[in-house]
Chain A
Amino acid sequence: MVEKKNNAQRLYALNPAAWDHGLAPGLALADARARLPQLRVADADRRADRELLLVLAAHCELYTPLTALDEPHGLVLDVTGCAHLFGGEAGLLSVALHDMAALGFSARAALAPTPDGARALARFSPDGVFSPAEAAEAVARLPLAALEVEEDSLRALSRAGLKTIGDLASRPSRAFAARFGADFPRKIECLLGREDLRITPLRPPPDCMVERHFAEPLEQSDSIEAVLSDLIQEAKTFLERRGQGGRLFEASFFRADGVVRRLSVETLRPTRDPKILVRLFHEKLESLADPLDPGFGFDALRLAVPRVENFESAQGDFVALEAREAEQELSELLDRLTTRFGRARVLRFMQGDAHEPERESLAVPVAAAVAETWSSPPDGEPPARPLTLFDPPQPVDVVALAPDSPPARFRWRRKMHEILRAEGPERIAPDWSVFGMREPARDYYRVEDVEGRRFWLFRRGLYESDDQPRWFLHGLFA
């Protein structure tokens, strides 16, 4: 693998055979070719690397929900409280290494009290589990390269006769800070486990999580759904104990080949009713554009509830109860439709914070909508805004009797409309901070043609300006 760095093609990653020939990353491609003419190279693709790493990270969620990338080619897992599920820390480590080997990766791993310590140990010492005392000792024995600082600093340190991390640790940190920057002593502290930095997981851990691991990969879709409904039942018990309900439920399907598929279901109000959730997940599975492909089967199924809210238990008088039940039923309907069609297809209207017709109101997913009161239109006036808006506005040919008079007739969709009544102009200037200074103002006219159809036309630009103004149809009135 090569990539371009400092204006030269340089080696980025190598296979074992190339390492054996004495090549190393960072070497210029020309030099490498001189040494090894039969070298085969390909361009490095960091994005693909990262994506692969993300897939692996998703797979690693089998072991713990707290996974993070340790780029360019590492993963950090926080397995606090998870190891006992795999027969202890050593068991977890061997399961993880075995899985990685099965997926075709060669991996090295170390389990240590701190993320930095674990990283250094995984890279520069044999695989294993390190207790706090062992870790400090093992890290102290590591070569300086484990610091992963720049070449120059390393050279300076080795010239001073320092060879291991332990050598550094026994010296006063002030000297290092003066020579290599304030970060340097901290790095040592982190490696030795004296300073403990938590990892930032890729995805925040959910409040509630239940899962099933299978001895044999699961393939049948009805048994998958059966397991899912078991998990939902379990999650319900958990939520019930805490007096909570979930707003977002996420099912993760861990496929035997390491790919993880996630499906999520959102509800408008906190829910824990297994019947509703089973139905929603069923709806989701039915409506998938690319169906759940079990491949060689699923190793594990997990149901997480990333968003929980307090569940208000129904109380109050009879009328309130009835109203609440009605509301409940409606939100169930909307949840079901959202699950089937997607968030962007079940909408509610919200007021927009702008005066341009396009942004005056917004259609937002029902889950994101907030109740608000709209001011009612003035009494005795006909509707001032059309029922629909065209996006983008439709260009029309307009004949107006005088430059600034309302249109007399216009042609839209190859049909001529003779205008009988008109009202306008209503001048609406676009917000310069959004549309820029150059966007001309619009003059809107409410018009009605001889057949009784009502339209909303506008003229973009003024007659006095240089460009010829153009007319558009923006909406239809009832």
Chain B
Amino acid sequence: MHAINAWRGGGAPCAKDLAALRLALARIEARRDGGSQMASREHFSLGAPEVDAVLGGGLNRACLHEVLAPRGADWSAAAGFGLALALRAASGRPVLWARQDFLESETGRLNGVGLVEFGVDPAALSLVRGRDAEAVLRAGVDAARCKSLGVALIEIFGAPRALDLTATLRLARSAESSGVTLFLLRICVGEMTRAPPSAAVSRWRARAQNSQALLANAPGAPRFSVTLLRHRGGAADRSWRLEWQRDRGFFCETAETRHAALSGSFPALPADGALALPSGQRRAG
């Protein structure tokens, strides 16, 4: 209730009560069980209450979601965000990552220890290396039909002809009948605002984001600047800065602060409704 009052106190119009209520509930949930129990059969939450509220509780399972990296340099952000989403969606079930060979020279090959450090259980992850986009898509369709798989990550470079609307429709339909959640990582789709058409339920754009410095100015936990470009039946074009909390297995939203905290402890989830940035501060990056 505290949170709702704070919202009202902030001068929110009454028409937004429903959204406010949702937000409040999401936040209470998040505080109660660390956001990890919010996974239902249909939804998986990101763990950041504000984002989950906008998404109406979370993203749908058994659907196709897209994460775009506008430039090759954004690969690490898109892959990190996509992988973290995949971990949320999988909640312990097996994950399959299908990659194009070309990406190995662009971004390096996946590193088992690095995956563990990111929060992945390598025993539950299978990697498929496809010679080209067609091979990766074929592997993706096969994976999308496998009921016992939790998540399939399909990583494609650029906009190959094989990845058209029909291909994404096929993926989406397979996912719907099998229950596998699919993430399509698209690298280098250009800075275009209108990304290629697809049957994805949600489309995200991820960019790198400065982390919160630790002691002695060391880089902190991974942060991403993400934009929800499209969300079927929901709000779109919203941006957040999210931090991936590996140890807890969820995202949390970050309020940009100049005064770096001393350690990567639980970042402030403001209970007093201080959602907006402190005035007079500019977001960097």
Binding site for B on A (CB under 8 A): 325-330, 332-334, 336-337, 340-341, 344-352, 357, 360-363, 366, 371-374, 376-377, 379-391, 415, 420-423, 446-448, 450-454, 475-478
Contacts and interface: CB of A to CB of B under 8 A. Distances in A.
A421 B264 CA distance: 14
Given A346-B126, A383-B117, A478 B147 contact: no
B76 A334 contact: no
Contacts, number: 208
Given A452-B225, A476-B108, A371 B244 contact: no
Contacts of B211: 382, 421, 448, 452, 454
A385 B219 contact: no
A151 B147 CA distance: 72
Contacts of B188: none
Given A380-B247, A422-B219, A446-B219, A476 B76 contact: yes
A388 B148 contact: no
A155 to B, nearest CB: 64
Contacts of B217: 421-423
Nearest to A388: B108
Interface residues of B, number: 66
B111 A388 contact: yes
Contact of A380 (B94, B138, B264): B264
Chain B facing A: main interface SS: mixed
Contacts of A333: 96, 142-143, 146, 149
B125 A348 contact: yes
B114 A387 contact: yes
B233 interface: no
A334 B98 CA distance: 12
A351 B114 CA distance: 12
Interface string B242-262: 001011000000000000000
Contacts of A422: 217-219
Nearest to B116: A374
Given A380-B264, A453-B208, A388 B130 contact: no
A386 B109 CA distance: 10
Interface in B85-110: 94, 96, 107-110
B246 A377 contact: yes
Contact of A372 (B96, B123, B131, B213): B123
Contacts of B125: 348-349
Given A391-B108, A421-B213, 19 more contacts: A328-B148, A329-B147, A337-B128, A341-B139, A345-B128, A349-B112, A361-B111, A362-B112, A377-B116, A380-B265, A388-B108, A388-B109, A388-B114, A421-B211, A421-B219, A454-B222, A478-B77, A478-B224, A478-B244
B154 to A, nearest CB: 13
A360 B208 contact: no
B275 interface: no
B67 to A, nearest CB: 12
